[in-house]
Structure 1
Amino acid sequence: MKNLRKSMILGIALVFVLSIILAACGNKAEGKTLIWGRGADTKSLDPAQVTDGESLNVTRNIYDTLVDYKDENTEVGPALAESWKTSKDQKTWTFNLKKGVKFQDGTDFNAEAVAFNFERWMDKKNPYHKGGEFPYYGYMFGGYKGDKGHVIKSVKAVNKNTVQFKLNEPQGPFLANIAMPAFAIASPKAIKADPEGLGKKPVGTGPFKFESWKKNDTISLLKNKDYWKKGYPKLDKVIFKSMPDNSARFTALKSGEIDVMDGLNPDDAKTVEKNNELKLAEQQGMNVGYLSFNMSKNTPVKDKKVRQALNYAVDKKSIIKSVYSGLATPSINPMPDSIWGFNKQIKDYPYDLKKAKKLLKEAGYGKGFKLELYAPSDPRPYMPDGRKVAEVIQSDWKKIGVDVKIVSFDWQTYLDKTGKGQHEAALFGWSGDNGDPDNFLYVLLDKDNTRTPNAGNISFYKSEPLHKLLMKAQRSTDKNERTKLYEKAQKIIKDDAPWVPLVHSTPGIAYQTYVGNGNFTHPINYSKLAQVDIKK
């Protein structure tokens, strides 16, 4: 009996030891796994339904676009389309597609698939126009089929490997627009099976295919062994892990729990540089963090003098010092000076409380007023700590009699409420998608993009003079002409003051030294991971 008991104990112990060994082997069986720590969860995995970086950073690795940005800049090069040509009036674009490419469900990628996706996005009467509002399509192409100003007239398959776009008007940024990750091509078979389900179970042609999604925790992607770029991806698995607290995420990086992290606290950048096991990548600051006044609300900010006064009462240098640790520059215009068309002649509103008080008095608010200010609770590349930024502004505005109530929500709720215009004022930001001024000025400040529930222009600012300039610039294919028009547009925006442009940040991405080939400094901050490797 004693021997039997001993045997049982030994057996249990052996099973326990073997389970540990098998678990370890199981982890090794994952091969090269990259764990990316990030500040918030994804909204949807259907790229046409989202505008947030947390979603697009994942979908960019599941899907491909017709054309893509080059590794070193925002110039456009081939992707699913090998080559293209345009008519003399630039209203007809013809793309020659790569042959032999398959979607991750085994179906063929072809011209019909491209036409199917664009028809789904543009036509609200299309039976597969489901799952959301397709906001980016409206932002970039002047609305939807039937809307005045809609850019794309038709998309048709000429043959299996040739697709042709007919435009109602030429569009200067057309090629740059279709390179955006929002316009990646999804499997028609998957869409037809469940158009709304694509947001949870994506199917593209990209380097990684979807494995699982645990809400507010992890999204796991597996290597697409049949990827059309031979030799890629290098990784076997990618896990995007949501960790809202920047400091906790940095601790996880230092301990080796994660391999890469974005949303690095500016103060931690110096720590990374001193750590021999970590590397720091500083992205090109093609972004803007701003404070938006909701001009559709019946509050004092409907008055231009009030908006100008509040601009005078924000100490941007203090924000940069206390929140960004110097890793940002003051914003003068709604886009950074790294974008062509930036108006260098415009002067910013200086920090001048006397001037601010004078304007408030002229507007009839000499005794001040109350204002509710939304501040994001989750870190963003353009705003690592929205609450702290709000508190600096709250302190500044109190000096001129404006009593600010700060309100915060989780990121998905924040997007929903601001997109519907429920705020009085809100801290927000934008990371450039394609290197074109249109992507900042038209998307964020034109009257076309005040459509709810996914307004890009959350100021609900509607200026007819500005709209005319932006439309003329968008329809021009002459870069010099477009530059002059955008310079004029920025003058109007500065005077009307629908925003307080705050900063252009230099977002930091920290990663382990064994992570190789990560192009983490690209101005488009949705990271492509096909070329990334782990070298231990």
Structure 2
Amino acid sequence: MRIFKPRAARAITAVVAVSLIAAGCTSKRDSGNKSGDRKDTFVFAGAGDPGSLDPALASDGETFRVTRQAFEALLEHEPGGTKLVGGLAETWSSNDKGTVWTFNLRKGVKFHDGEKLNAKAVCANYDHWFHWKGTYQSSAVSYYWQTIMGGFAKNEDKETPEPNYKSCTAKDEYTVVIEVKKPSANLPGGFSLNSLAIHSPKAIKEYEKQEATAKGDAITYPKYSQEAGVVAGTGPYKIVKWNKGNKEVVLERFDDYWGEKAKIKKLIFRTIDTEEGRRQALQAGDIDGYDLVAPADVKTLKDQGYVVPTRDVFNLFYLGMSQGANKALKKKEVRQAIAHAIDRENLVKTQLPEGGKVADQFMPDTVAGYSKNVKQYPHDTAKAKELLKKAGEEKLEIEFCYPTEVTRPYMPAPQDIFELLKADLEKAGIKVKPKPMKWAPDYLDATESGSCALHMLGWTGDFNDGYNFIGTWFSGYNKQWGFKDKKVFDAVNAGSKMGKLEDRIAAYEKANEVIMDYLPGVPLSSSPPAIAFGKNVNPPKVSPLTQEIFAEASFKK
């Protein structure tokens, strides 16, 4: 999941946009009590607003943080890890080709609206997604369906991928068979995505009465996805309110949950867009936890007695280059010069938490498929100047977009990082034209459409397969990068068609070598993002995929 995923950097409707709260300010909670006085409400602060209450329409981590508590997929990941385990399906299997997937569902599972989970309910979801029309076919709306299953029953745009989804069959009441046309490295991992979580068939009928619409690049999402009351999953919490004015989503414990019940009755997700504001809110007792702790705050909070676990490294931060936005970037020497100009070791040392690593390819070294033989681009300002001269671009001017009002797991302080990269580039003789942009929707729209020559983005893996990283960006033409190179595309896609894990890993290693020789952008770093909780909190297991389940959290007695 991108916590925020780069290709998943999609437009968020202006309907969702509301004014930002000031750093450190929080709205008065329902109970009116501070953290230490309250045992029935848990308040957690994220760095951004969710975009939708329907995870099928989402691609960003702030949305999934909320929806993951209310919706469950066929498969899940073990708490705190990346191993696939049963979700709504107790067991699963596939044929030798990986084209027929059989799921044995749990019995006695209810949706929040009282409907019963069975095989027909699962197929109602997959067929609903497959038959999307109009704006729902936009990659900004159905990013994950297209990533995992391809296109639709009737594609309406020539750029939409061919559908790989074939059918969903209710073999019996609790046995589901999902068929795809070709094997894919995205399966079975894709069955664990919150975007493919299962909704009540009763709710789906209501969804289908509404449309998403688009005007230019601006998407207006359907009303049901912007207000609580219609969406219904099977999770330990149900969504009961979205107070956009106070930037809060309220969830309540679902007492008919099939598994272990949530330990706390009410769960509130609140947006506080600055690191300082989130820290101050925790210290004041206004919230019980928050994500994306500033590296400099980790030791301070620990010394004060707060619980500050650090997730394992499972992300990648990069400098993106759009060849469509600046023709100079079509020259390999220019891309190489930019890579040599950047001091990645200094970036890691000064901007990232302890445990941060310099990246030399487009996946972290914790993912199988990482290669030790990629071409290296060490920091060398003189080399950068030499390459620019060779390319005839000694007076290169380039626009550099960077996001504001946001913090990401891979990018703790965007403006500080931008200033550092800008200084490195200017030392090499590149004139940088800064372009600050609000994260959502402006920055995400601009990077997605390829209008930002240089930009900063990253990715937190959805599941543990190398294709989930390199395939996200380089499996084919992507406006964000604006290049077409068959050698790169073929190398990236080779592994996705292989059934044996060892063969896929070897193919991913080769693909990383091809990518880094072409150099479409500059991988910068990987980092272990920290998450903080109050002194009186027993936190949930933290996840390298940032997939924490807050039903596990409780207050100390």
Q: Is residue 493 of structure 2 the alignment partner of residue 428 of structure 1?
A: no
Paired residue type of 1:105: D
Give the whole-Å Cα distance in 2 for the aligned partners of 1:515 and 1:54: 22
Q: Within 1, Cα distance between the matches of 2:273 and 2:117?
A: 37
CA-CA distance at 1:128 after TM superposition: 8.1
The unaligned stretches of length 5 or more in structure 1 are 1-21
Partner Cα separation in structure 1 for residue 404 and residue 460 of structure 2: 16
Contact 2:47 2:292 in 1 (8 A): yes
Q: CA separation of 1:191/1:26 partners in 2, compared to 1, >3 Å: closer, same or farther?
A: farther
Per-residue deviation at 1:148?
Answer: 5.6
**Native 8 Å contact 2:356 2:526 kept in 1:** yes
Aligned residue in 2 for 1:441: 470
The equivalent of 1:73 in structure 2 is: 81
What SS does the aligned partner of 2:495 have? helix
Shift in Å, 1:29: 12
The CA distance in 1 between the partners of 2:291 and 2:395, in whole Å, is 43
Q: Determine if the alignment matches structure 1 residue 404 to structure 2 residue 417.
A: no
Say if 2:240 and 2:252, in contact at 8 Å, map to a contact too.
yes
Partner of 1:382: 410
Q: Within 1, Cα distance between the matches of 2:366 and 2:406?
A: 26
Distance 1:395 1:23 in 2: 48
Task: Using the TM superposition, name which of 113-122 and 99-108 deviates more.
Answer: 113-122
CA offset digits 1:26-83 (Å, max 9, x no partner): 9999852111011111111211111111011111101000011112421211111111
Cα distance 1:511–1:444, how it changes in 2: closer, same or farther (>3 A)? same
Instruction: Write the letter of the residue equivalent to 1:497.
Output: L
CA distance in 1, matches of 2:298, 2:173: 50
Q: Which residue is 1:182 aligned to?
A: 195
Over residues 148-197 of structure 1, what are the superposed CA-to-partner deviations in whole Å (9 max), with x where a residue is unaligned? 65322112222221111112112234011111212111122223213433
State the TM-score, normalizing by the size of structure 2. Answer: 0.86
How far residue 84 of structure 1 moved from its aligned partner, in angstroms, is: 1.8
Deviation track 1:253-292 (CA, whole Å, cap 9, x = no partner) reads 112111111111100011022112x011111110011110
Moved more, 384-393 or 115-124: 115-124
Whole-Å Cα distance in 2 between the matches of residues 394 and 460 of structure 1? Answer: 22
Q: Report if the CA contact (8 A) 2:75-2:86 is conserved.
A: yes
Establish whether residue 224 from structure 1 lines up as the match of residue 254 from structure 2: yes
Q: What is the CA–CA distance in structure 2 between the aligned matches of 1:129 and 1:420, rounded to whole Å?
A: 16
SS of the residue 1:191 aligns to: helix
8 Å Cα contact 1:447/1:461 also seen in 2: no
Whether the 8 Å contact between 1:309 and 1:360 is mirrored in structure 2 is yes
CA 1:103–1:129 in structure 2 vs 1: closer, same or farther (change >3 Å)? farther
Identify the residue that residue 498 of structure 1 maps to in structure 2. 520
In 2 relative to 1, CA 285–127 (structure 1 residues): closer, same or farther, beyond 3 Å?
closer
* Count of matched residue positions in the alignment of Structure 1 and Structure 2: 505
1:212 and 2:241 matched? yes
Q: What's the CA shift string for 1:480-515, capped at 9, x where partnerless?
A: 111111111111111111111111011011111322
- Contact 2:399 2:435 (C-alpha < 8 Å) held by counterparts: no
What is the CA–CA distance in structure 2 between the aligned matches of 1:283 and 1:127, rounded to whole Å? 36
Instruction: Please say if 1:525 is aligned against 2:546.
Output: yes
* Equivalence for 1:197: 223
Q: Is the CA contact (8 Å cut-off) linking 1:292 and 1:459 kept in structure 2?
A: yes
2:495 matches 1:473: yes
Contact kept in structure 2, 1:285 and 1:504, CA below 8 Å = yes
More displaced stretch, 29-38 vs 482-491: 29-38
Partner of 2:19 in structure 1? none
CA distance in 1, matches of 2:537, 2:88: 27
CA contact (8 A) 1:43 1:412 kept: no
Q: CA offsets per residue over residues 423-464 of structure 1, 9 Å max, x none?
A: 22211111111011111010122216x2xxxx7xx2234332
144 and 315 in structure 1: CA distance in 2 versus 1, 3 angstrom threshold: farther
Give, in whole Å, the separation in 1 of the partners of 2:135 and 2:46.
35
| 1:48 corresponds to | 56
Alignment correspondent of 2:533: 511
The one of 173, 179, 186 equivalent to 1:160 is: 173
TM superposition shift of 1:381: 0.8
Structure 2, gaps ≥5 residues long: 1-29, 209-221
CA distance in 2, matches of 1:285, 1:421: 28
Letter in 1 for 2:55: P
| Cα deviations by residue, 1:231-268 (Å, 9 ceiling, x for unpaired) | 31111111111111111210111121111111111000
Structure 1 contact 264–510 (Cα < 8 Å) conserved: yes
Q: Which amino acid aligns with 1:286?
A: F
Whole-Å Cα distance in 1 between the matches of residues 357 and 324 of structure 2?
30
Equivalent position SS for 2:53: coil
Offset at 1:123? 3.2
Q: Distance in 1 between matches of 2:53 and 2:376?
A: 39
Q: Percent identity?
A: 32
User: Secondary structure of the residue that 1:397 maps to in structure 2?
Assistant: helix
Structure 1 position 532, deviation (Å): 1.5
Residues 271-323 of structure 1, C-alpha deviations (whole Å, 9 max, x = no match)? 022112x0111111100111100122243112221111100000112212222
Paired AA for residue 303 in structure 1: K
1:242 aligns with 2:271: yes
CA distance in 1, matches of 2:45, 2:87: 28
Q: Secondary structure at the match of 1:55?
A: helix
Aligned counterpart for 2:115 among listed residues 107, 120, 133: 107
Separation of aligned partners in 1, 2:124 and 2:373: 45
CA contact (8 A) 2:80 2:548 kept: no
SS at match of 1:513: coil
Check conservation: 1:446, 1:461, Cα contact below 8 A: no
Map of 1:20-419 to 2, 5 A cutoff? 31-125=39-133, 133-145=141-153, 149-195=162-208, 196-200=222-226, 201=228, 202-215=231-244, 217-229=247-259, 231-276=260-305, 278-413=306-441, 414-419=443-448
Residue 236 of structure 2 aligns with an amino acid whose one-letter code is: P
- In 1, Cα distance between equivalents of 2:449 and 2:422: 24
